[in-house]
Every structure is written in structure tokens, then in C-alpha cells.
Structure 1
Amino acid sequence: MKIQTRKGTGMAITRRQWLAVGLSIPLTLAAGTQAAISGSASGARTALTLLVGAAPGGGWDTVARELQAAMRENGIVSNPQVVNVPGAAGTIALEQLLQMRGQSDVVMITGTVMLGGVVVNDSPHDLTATTPIAHLADDYEAIVVPADSSLKTLDDLVAALKEDPGAVSFGGGSLGGTDHLLAGLLAQEVGVNPSEVNYVPFAGGGEAVSALLSHSVTVGVSGYNEFADQVTAGNLRLLGIASPKAVAGVDGPTFSEAGYKAYLPNWRGAVAPAGLDAEDAAELTAILSETVKTPEWKDALKRNKWVDAYQEGKEFREFVESETSRVTKTIEELGL
């Protein structure tokens, strides 16, 4: 797959560099030392750090801040803090989390993007090295174009790809992430060699939207919520959402409705450091379980067009293992 390199977009680094990065990151995220998450006199846990492996404003950050608001509003955690550690598709944050072995006051927001980032960036660890806590929601990928684009439908996009793959530039997030994978999967399905796809990675959704509006890229690929405002405003047009069935609040065809099999959920979940004892893991699970039952979280699902996909315990652990294997195999098959 042809990749246009851009500064700060998470290009692959070596395992040696990863270890150096890991050693340079402080072990304590929040101010002070590790805080207990046991219940306070009011019934609320006193502190919890929500680690986000991306800059403010993106999908993981939005999940963390929605959780933070729901926890505070309902007295589940009295002082939840969001800490952003961006870079390399979240794998810098992953390495930091794994240095906190046994620490029970932190969870990291993660998902499909990080699975791909682990492979592309040759990270020394993957999510199976963590303690899985909960699968929170799915955010399906969308493909959009500028409103004045000559591409009106997914069929038009496919025709353009078949005619000249290099002439159709896909703007999306980090290398090996869901945006990158979807471009490759669609190309593969319609008989175009994924290695010929022209993929342009951006550090965040805002950059990708700007590139679309300035016609610097042909097509945008991301979670629908990244484009929703511009689609509603009439500046971007939704060609399709990569979901097997309609998503509430999204006015546009699914890939399935348009006749394409490719689909890709960008799942959102929470994991904790390795080495937690059963009691600490159960406590963190209880926090997330309580939070997703709140009116605030249910409203967040609706506003952000997320699909409820809650899992915990053994079910989520098996899901993480399965997804790690599936995404790794897909990246290798697509030559990404």
C-alpha cells in the first residue's frame, strides 16, 4: 500500500526505539503516588486515571471524557482524571501502562486502532499483555468525500479505484489503524491490489477533515462522528458506513446496502495494567459496569452514534485475543 509520510503521524519505529521510549516515560501519571480506588465514605471511589493514547479531541479521548463525566455525575468515582499520552497509534501509552504492573487506579482506553498500531510500529507488546476490563462500544467506520466531489456513491469510488488506484487518495488516521484497514479491505474486495492504494495518514480527525475540505485528499475514512458535523452542514457527503446494518442517527447507506461485504467496527474498550489481583480487577470492572448503566453514558452512545457492545470478564478477554489475531492477520494479508 502506498503511504505518504507526514510528520507526527505515527510512522513505524524499531523495537530498540520502543524500549528507549518506554524507559523515558514516567511511571506515575496523576499527581502524587498511586491512589486507592476503594469506596470512600460517600460510596464513591476516590480516584481513577483514564489513560488515552491520543491527543485531546479524538475517538479515545471522547470515550474517556464521556466516562469521566458519567462517573462524576453519578458519584461512581469522585475524582476521575483523563491523561493524554499521544503517539504511535496509542502504543506509547500501552508501553507506559505496562510499566505500572499491579497498579489498580488506572485504565487505558483502547480499541482496533491500537491493534494495528502494535503491528505497524513493531511494538514489543500487544493488548494480550494487559488486564482486559470491559468492551464499551463499537464505532463504525465511514467513507466521505467533499460535497462537490464527482464521486456520488460507493460504486463511483470503486470505479475510480479500478481505473487508477493511485489517483484516489484516502485520508485517515494512523498507519495500520481502522481507517487504513478499511481502505485496504475495500480495495481487496473489488479486485484492486491493496499495495496500490494511496493512503495518507493524519495525526487526528481534524487534520483529515481539513485536507478533505481543501481537496488535498480524495476520500476521508474515519469513525462517522469525526465527520458528522461537516456532513450535517452539507460540506461533506457520506458515501457509506462500514456496518452490517443501519446505525441509529446516521443518514446514509451501509456498505452492505450498497452491495459490499467489507465492514469494520472500531471498538472501544478499557484495559488495566498486568499483574492485578482478582479483587482489584473486579473493582475496576464494577466501576465500568456501573458507569455504562448511567443515563449520561446512554446519552453519550446516542450522541456519538456508538453501538452498545458491552462485555467484561472472560468474554472480553477472549474478544481481545481474537481481535488481536484477526487484525494482525489482516494487516499481513493486505501488506500494510
Structure 2
Amino acid sequence: MRRREFVARALAAMAGLAGCGTATRPTPSFSVVPGGEAWVPVARVLAGQFKRDGVAEGGPLLTVTGLPAIAAAEMAGVKETGTPLARLVGDVEVLVVSNASVFREFDDFARRLVADPGGTVLGGRPQGESDHLLFGLVARGLGADARVLDYAGYPTTDDAAEALLAGRVGVAAGPLGEWRKRLGKGRLRALAVSSAERVEDVEAPTLLESGVRVDFADWCAVLGPKQMSERDRARAVEVLDEVARSARWLDACRARGWKPIPLSGDDFAAWLGSEAGRTREVLKDLGLIDTTCWGSCVRGH
């Protein structure tokens, strides 16, 4: 999906946030922001959890969203996207190369990126989304010029993997959950993971261990309507907290490979503001906002 199309779809979803219910405890209807199809299972599990817990009907429409939608909003200059309720889960990202790559370790890639930021084609999902942002954060952490990164955006991780194996991309990034099945089969290797701690069964250091101050996840969260009352907000946060602590939810996370990163209420609202700020700065570094070239500064494929 091209970046402008993603922005338009994300804005359409944000505009659809509306209405508050008056039930004793809200059973929300869940929607997923367009472009966030990866989080459809989260919305389904949440809806099932609320139904099993017997929460009364009549609550607000809640939107399951994530980092790509926040990036799209920043690129479009939209600041109000809804009422922050809770962060739920995230996907650790991984940097991947082919087994034949000259980059045997992350340090090899880091040296090349600093010396020649545009000399290696980088790949992942569409421009301006999580994978692209991670490369921007890595470049920033290394002191490399992110504006000249040569990034190739693909519709899916499968497409990015095909490009990597075909040699059209030198290093790819994406959610570990989508790359894990491809690693360890003799064709692809992990250079680093984006989490603060190493990941079990992945033979790769963290970016933090490698000298890059980045702790990053392709996260998923729930927003309420923009005009949500404080009473309804408090009720929704309470129920989401209960869900995040429940054994059924944690079992679902383990089964689907989601990493629980719960944060709710005012703490989540403060974190979201900080995350939006970080995202905005990286998008500036990448030449995707606050630039007269509107994307032409970034090489496309």
C-alpha cells in the first residue's frame, strides 16, 4: 500500500470514532484501523473476552490501532486521534539478512550504514510504517544520515522476504513473529532484535547490546472516541485492565506469539504522547514530513 493511500485510510478510520454508551460497564464494539489488518485477531480476542465476562452491552466504539496508524497521522498532521485507553501487545522487530550476506554481524552492517547510508538497499513493509521507522531509529542511534537511506517498501513481509532472498534488498526488518519461521533454515539470519532483552531461540543480540539506544516494538493499543466522557473512559480502562491480567488473555497472547506490554489510563496517554513525538522526529529524519520534497528525498523501489 502506498504511503498516501495508507494515510487516507487511517484518517478515514479516525474520523469514524464516535459515540459513547451509557451501560453500567461498557461492552465496546471493536474496529481495526485500516492498514492495521495484523491486529484484527487482537480485536476478535478482545471482543470474545468481553462477551465471556458478561459485560453489559451498549458501550462505545473502540478502535484497535497501532504504530503505523500513529505514523500516518503524524505524516498527515493530525494530532487528535481518539481517547487513549490502553496499550496491549507488541511485536518485537528483527533485522534480517540472507545467509550469504557480507554482514556477518550487526556491527558489520552498522559500519556500512555510517560510512555509506544509501549504499545498502533496506526493505520491509510500506514506507513510513514500523519497519521503515526502525531503520530510521537505527540510523539516528548510529549517527548516520537517515534522509538518504535507500528503503524499499513492500506490501507484506512475504514480499520483503522474497526480495531479500532474490538479492534486491540487503537488509530487511519486520515483526519477529512473521520472520521467525524463516530463520534457522539456512537461508536467512537475524542480525539483531529490537527488544530490550534477548529473545529466546533467536541467535541475535539486541540493538541495545550493539550500541544502539533503541527499544522498539510494533505495538497495538485501544483508543476510545475522541469525545469520550471521563466516566466512560474510566470504565473502559478498568475492563481493559481486567482483560490484560486475565489468564485467558495471556494464554491467547502465548498462542499467537504476542508480547504483552500492558499500559493503561493516564500512564498510557503520557507514553503515547512521547511515542508520537519520537515517531515524528524519526519521520523528519527520513524526510517524510516537514520537507518540501514530500517523499522524493527518499528513494523508492
| Pairwise TM-score range, normalised by the shorter structure | 0.7 to 0.9
Cα 1:324–1:190 shift into 2, 3 Å? closer
Q: Which residue of 2 aligns with 1:112?
A: 67
Matched, 1:294 2:231: no
What SS is found at the alignment partner of 2:274?
helix
Q: Which residue of 1 aligns with 2:298?
A: none
Question: CA offsets per residue over residues 227-267 of structure 1, 9 Å max, x none?
Answer: 11111544421110022222355442111223332332333
Is the 1:182–1:263 contact (alpha carbons within 8 Å) kept by the matching residues of 2? no
C-alpha distance in 1 between matches for 2:195 and 2:119: 26
Cα 1:331–1:75 shift into 2, 3 Å? same
Count of matched residue pairs: 287
Is the 1:247–1:305 contact (alpha carbons within 8 Å) kept by the matching residues of 2? no
C-alpha distance in 1 between matches for 2:71 and 2:95: 19
Is the 1:242–1:265 contact (alpha carbons within 8 Å) kept by the matching residues of 2? yes
| Range with bigger deviation, 257-266 or 307-316 | 257-266
The equivalences for 1:1-336 within 5 A come to: 8-11=1-4, 22=12, 38=23, 48-54=29-35, 56=37, 58=38, 60-71=39-50, 74-76=52-54, 104-120=59-75, 122-123=76-77, 125-126=78-79, 128-162=80-114, 164-248=116-200, 250-336=202-288
Cα 1:200–1:77 shift into 2, 3 Å? farther
Is the 2:103–2:109 contact (alpha carbons within 8 Å) kept by the matching residues of 1? yes
Q: Percent identity?
A: 25
Cα 1:272–1:233 shift into 2, 3 Å? farther
What SS is found at the alignment partner of 2:62?
strand
| Range with bigger deviation, 280-289 or 196-205 | 280-289
| Range with bigger deviation, 191-200 or 165-174 | 165-174
| Range with bigger deviation, 265-274 or 282-291 | 282-291
Cα 1:324–1:104 shift into 2, 3 Å? farther
Is the 1:227–1:236 contact (alpha carbons within 8 Å) kept by the matching residues of 2? no
Query: Any gaps of 5 or more consecutive residues in structure 2?
Result: 289-301
Cα 1:245–1:13 shift into 2, 3 Å? closer
C-alpha distance in 2 between matches for 1:300 and 1:225: 14
Is the 1:171–1:202 contact (alpha carbons within 8 Å) kept by the matching residues of 2? yes
Cα 1:12–1:194 shift into 2, 3 Å? farther
Query: Any gaps of 5 or more consecutive residues in structure 1?
Result: 1-7, 80-102
Coordinate RMSD, CA, aligned? 3.5
Opposite residue 43 of structure 2, the aligned amino acid is A
Aligned-residue offset at 1:226: 1.9
TM-score (normalised: structure 1): 0.72
TM-score (normalised: structure 2): 0.79
